A and B are shown apart, each in its own frame.
Chain A
Amino acid sequence: MDMASILYLGVTFGLFIIFVLIVRNTYRRRNKEEKEAPKYRMMNDD
């Protein structure tokens, strides 16, 4: 493997990790209430 391939795989893996972290943080059970709150609050904004 040359440097370019290692870099390529590294960047891809890095992006994947970021994605997993976003999903994990978003879907954590203890975050549920907070993360879903705005969708109810926007219903009575008039």
Chain B
Amino acid sequence: MGKPQYHTDIVKSFVNWSLVWGVVAVLVGVIVSFQMVNPDLNYPPYFTFGRLRPIHTNAGIYGWGVGTIFAMFLYMAQRLCKTPLWSLGLAKFQLWLFNITIAASAVTLLLGYSSTLEYHEMEWPIDIMIVVLWVTFSINIIMTIIKRKEEQMYISLWYMMAAIIGIAILFTVNALAVPVSAFKSYSIFAGTNSANVQWWFGHNAVAMALTAPPLAMFYYFLPKTTGVPIYSHRLSIISFWSLIFMYLWTGAHHLLWTPVPDWIQTLAMAFSIMLIAPSWGSVINGYLSMKGQWHQMRDNYLVKFLILGITFYGLQTLQGPMQAIRSFSAFIHYTDWVPGHIHMGTMGWVSLVSVAGIYFLLPRIYGREVYSIPLANLHFWLVVIGQLIWSTSMWIAGVLQAGMWNAMNADGSLTYTFTETMVEMYPYWWIRAIGGIIYLIGILVFIYNVYMTVQKGKEPAPKLLEVEGRA
């Protein structure tokens, strides 16, 4: 029986474009981090912090994050189903719609067309484009799964399907609005309801875009990279169902101490703590898969990316629940601690696993060995060090500012004015900006390595050619 002819060109295109948007996201991130230390770097009306920050977050989540997810899902689905993509034409349409949508998002956000809903700032015409894009992608993946040659579905496919459904429900409900003009609409939800719906969306966008898909990648690329199957398929069943069930209850932990009803906050707090179990189910599954293979942390640069990635996921899913506790939230919420937390997830977990996936794909989609492993190692250390500087400086800054906000004199008066506390943040914001630059350099090293692989990479070993059906 001949090998199925998998489509790889479309995967290449998604990898390339997600890299482009990834650089945009990180570059804008570095720019806004400098605007925070020097307000003269705001150039109104278009290039102000208020308009650029949503471009940073959305380019990161949708351009880089979801772009990579598209690439990886299109690659993994074909192999896990042992069948070519259901429709190559649809995938090509999806590629163009994806780039147009991301570009249109960036332009409209610069113009100030913003719903202000975090990670959902794009106005209604862009929302419609995103929905069409997601449906296009979903149909292709689901049809490929239905047409599969493999009866029993591997873990990664479950996470893909959950993400497909989750994003569709979350994004559509939160987008509901009444348009008043081409780029302005008013949410159908008001006040406290609007807040509750937004953070039900906001937190679960993290679940369905930045947790489930990277887990799908992790469960696929770790065994592929080490050459040893995942420790337990059964443990992942428990983790999977618990994770997707519990996540949806936790949105209101972003709204502790606000006018949202107390019982919703309490449920969110309780479920956030319980989420440690399914999250760590995957972490432990990853670690135990390394049994007898830990030497690969030295020998195989890809294992380093994946294991550090899942470690940051583990830390993220301990720190997150901690922040979801009322008393702790009262202290650190609204400070720089929270961006420190988010960036450990995005720069540590999601990006490390995504770039591991890309390194893994390079020989298989370009038919060339990765240009330089020393450069890949340099990339690894730059992004890890950059991210640690970033997050740690923000955690320290957050605790410091929270302490100052809460400091009171014996007579019940406040010790510090707001400005006095804000001024103390400058040194940490500088350190953060430097961390961001180190991270950006790491990304540029990565892109150089990818570029050189495509241009000058060696032909791969014959075994790989045979595997790919190219020989």
State A22–B155 Cα separation when bound (angstroms).
16
Contact with A along B200-228 (1 / 0, CB 8 A): 00000000000000000000100110010
**Chain A neighbourhood of B152, CB < 8 A:** 34, 37-38, 41
> Which residues in window 232-267 of B have CB below 8 A to A?
232-234, 237-238, 241-242
> Which residues in window 120-158 of B have CB below 8 A to A?
150, 152-156
B154 pairs with A26, CB closer than 8 A: no
> Which residues in window 1-46 of A have CB below 8 A to B?
19, 22-23, 26-27, 32, 34-43, 45-46
**Chain B neighbourhood of A35, CB < 8 A:** 233-234, 237
Which of A19, A40, A42: most chain B CB closer than 10 A? Answer: A42
A42 pairs with B234, CB closer than 8 A: no
A45 pairs with B150, CB closer than 8 A: yes
State A35–B156 Cα separation when bound (angstroms).
15
B238: contacting residue among A26, A37, A42, A43, CB under 8 A: A26
A38: contacting residue among B155, B227, B364, CB under 8 A: B155
Q: How far is the CB of B314 from chain A (nearest CB, A)?
A: 21
Which of A26, A36, A39, A41: most chain B CB closer than 10 A? Answer: A39
State A35–B397 Cα separation when bound (angstroms).
48
**Chain B neighbourhood of A39, CB < 8 A:** 154-155, 223, 229-230, 232-233
B238 pairs with A38, CB closer than 8 A: no
B304 within 8 A of A: no
CB-CB nearest in chain A for B232? A36
State A24–B227 Cα separation when bound (angstroms).
30
**Chain A neighbourhood of B7, CB < 8 A:** none
B190 within 8 A of A: no
Q: How far is the CB of A21 from chain B (nearest CB, A)?
A: 11
A27: contacting residue among B79, B234, B241, B242, CB under 8 A: B234
**Chain A neighbourhood of B233, CB < 8 A:** 35-39
Known: A22-B237, A35-B237. A45 touches B80 (CB 8 A): yes
**Chain A neighbourhood of B155, CB < 8 A:** 38-39
**Chain A neighbourhood of B242, CB < 8 A:** 19
B79 pairs with A45, CB closer than 8 A: yes
State A41–B468 Cα separation when bound (angstroms).
17
B471 within 8 A of A: no
Q: How far is the CB of B82 from chain A (nearest CB, A)?
A: 6
Q: How far is the CB of B227 from chain A (nearest CB, A)?
A: 8
B238 pairs with A22, CB closer than 8 A: yes
B423 within 8 A of A: no
B150 pairs with A22, CB closer than 8 A: no
Known: A22-B238, A22-B241, A35-B233. A41 touches B150 (CB 8 A): yes
Q: How far is the CB of B277 from chain A (nearest CB, A)?
A: 10
B410 within 8 A of A: no
**Chain B neighbourhood of A36, CB < 8 A:** 232-234
CB-CB nearest in chain B for A25? B237
State A26–B239 Cα separation when bound (angstroms).
11
**Chain A neighbourhood of B224, CB < 8 A:** 43
B234 pairs with A41, CB closer than 8 A: no
State A34–B224 Cα separation when bound (angstroms).
21
B467 within 8 A of A: yes
Q: How far is the CB of B273 from chain A (nearest CB, A)?
A: 15
**Chain B neighbourhood of A43, CB < 8 A:** 223-224, 227, 229
State A35–B152 Cα separation when bound (angstroms).
9
**Chain B neighbourhood of A42, CB < 8 A:** 80, 154, 156, 220, 223, 229
State A35–B238 Cα separation when bound (angstroms).
12
> Which residues in window 365-395 of B have CB below 8 A to A?
none
Q: How far is the CB of A39 from chain B (nearest CB, A)?
A: 4
State A43–B223 Cα separation when bound (angstroms).
7
Known: A19-B242, A36-B232, A46-B467. A41 touches B154 (CB 8 A): yes
State A1–B20 Cα separation when bound (angstroms).
60
**Chain A interface residues toward B at CB < 8 A:** 19, 22-23, 26-27, 32, 34-43, 45-46
- 6 A-B pairs with C-beta separation under 8 A: A23-B238, A26-B237, A34-B152, A36-B234, A43-B223, A46-B3
**5 new A-B contacts at CB < 8 Å, known A35-B233, A39-B155:** A19-B242, A23-B238, A37-B152, A41-B154, A43-B227
